[in-house]
Amino acid sequence: MSENKKPENNEEIDLTSFMDSIKKVSQKVFSFLQTITIGFVSVIMGFAKTLLANWLIITAVIVVGFIGGKILEKNTPTIYISKMLVRPHFDSKYQLVNNIDYFNALLESKDFDRLSNIFKVQEDTVKELLEFGINPGPESENDRIRQYDIFLKSIDSVRAQSITYEDFINNRGTHNSDIFEISIESKRKDIYKSLQEGLNNSIVNDYSNNIRDKRDSVVAIERRDLIKSLAEVKKMQEFYIKMLEREQEKKQTAINIGPGLTFTTDDNKTREYDLFNKEIEIRNEIRELDKVVVEDNEFFDVISDFQEIGRPFRSWKQMYSLIVPVLGLFILFFVFVFWNIIRFIKNYEH
């Protein structure tokens, strides 16, 4: 009987030990969270206490910084900006993006002579330039979907299944756009039109020239073949017209041309109609080829020109009424920390 009770006692002891372990762990976790909470509240209260104790100094720094920033903004020369929208063709967008980086590098190195040669303007004009910029232009959701479809067709079908529309949109770079927004910042507001011609000429390159030449060669070959086909269709049309005229003259319902070839009046009319539709189809294809050459014969299309007069522009770097007070608060904070460290070192005792 005592042997049967012994296992039950062991189970009760194990359960009691397990509950005690859980209780100790819970107490430690609660104590840890309590310590963190108290520490966080202490930091917040200490920070608030410091702000209250020094609110006059903090307010003075903010007010003086704001006034000083406003004075700097008024004395800083106004910067103007103008933008244009372009649609590059024949992969000239790569040259366009590269040129913008090159122009900025010339500005940073103050190589105004080279810039004036590129844009065909006086050196005094390019000295007024501050920065060139390029960004993807405005696009609709349909434009993004169309680009996604083109992208999927350009890669392996297996890999295309793993790339979602969201992945494509989030991982696009500057070069993935069809329309680009070019911006120029300057200290003068009326120089943008004089820069546009030089900017346009700089986009042309040998690579894009080769692509356009290949396109034109392919179009020429296809157009020549279509014209030959059109000539054959015209010959067939003339043949069936003669057949119809001959039938009317002889007033016969059928004409035999060699063994096994019989044309009836209805057959001739039907075939003439089919050939007429074929002629229209070929002419439409020729028209589409000519349309491609006419519409995409330039290296880029200017959708929107630079404005005659640039609009005033102020970047966040020039918002001194905000930057100066924030900078003053940072300096005040570091001075406060440095002062407390020195005071702690002086009062420290072994």
Tens digits of residue pLDDT in 211-255: 888 887 888 888 888 888 888 877 887 777 777 777 766 654 444
**pLDDT for 3 beyond 70:** no
Task: 45-51: list long-range contacts, CB under 8 Å, 24+ apart.
Answer: 50/336
pLDDT at 277 over 70: yes
Tell me which residue of 308, 53, 283 sits closest to 188, measured CA to CA.
308
| Integer angstrom CA distances of residue 48 from 64, 72, 293, 332, 338 | 22, 32, 71, 15, 19
Cβ within 8 Å of residue 37, ≥6 positions away: none
Neighbours of 81 (CB within 10 A): 20
User: Side chain identity at 314, as an amino acid letter?
Assistant: R
Reported as a pLDDT band with limits 50, 70 and 90, residue 10 is low
44, two tokens: 């917040």
Q: Point out the least confidently predicted range of 5-9, 20-24, 199-203.
A: 5-9
Query: 226 and 234 in contact (C-beta within 8 Å)?
Result: no
The count of residues in the chain is 350
Q: Residue 8 in 3-state DSSP?
A: helix
pLDDT for residue 251: 52
Q: What is the mean pLDDT of residues 107-121?
A: 88
CB 328 within 8 A of CB 64: yes
Q: Evaluate if residue 50 carries a pLDDT over 70.
A: yes
- What is the mean pLDDT of the segment spanning 270-281? 74
Give the mean model confidence (pLDDT) for residues 42-70. Answer: 81
What's the rounded Cα separation, in Å, for the pair 173 and 205?
22
Single-letter residue type at 48: A
- Comparing C-alpha atoms, which of 41, 92, 70 is closest to residue 209? 92
Q: Determine the Cα–Cα distance for residues 320 and 343; give it in Å rounded to an integer.
A: 34
Report the 3 state secondary structure along 27-88: HHHHHHHHHHHHHHHHHHHHHHHHHHHCHHHHHHHHHHHHHHHHHHHHHCCCEEEEEEEEEE
- Residue 20 to residues 11, 33, 63, 254: CA-CA distances in angstroms? 14, 20, 60, 112
pLDDT tens-digit series, residues 71-108: 887 877 788 888 888 888 877 888 888 888 889 999 99
Residue 37 tokens, joined: 């909470």
Distance of alpha carbon 115 from alpha carbon 124, whole angstroms: 11
DSSP 155: S
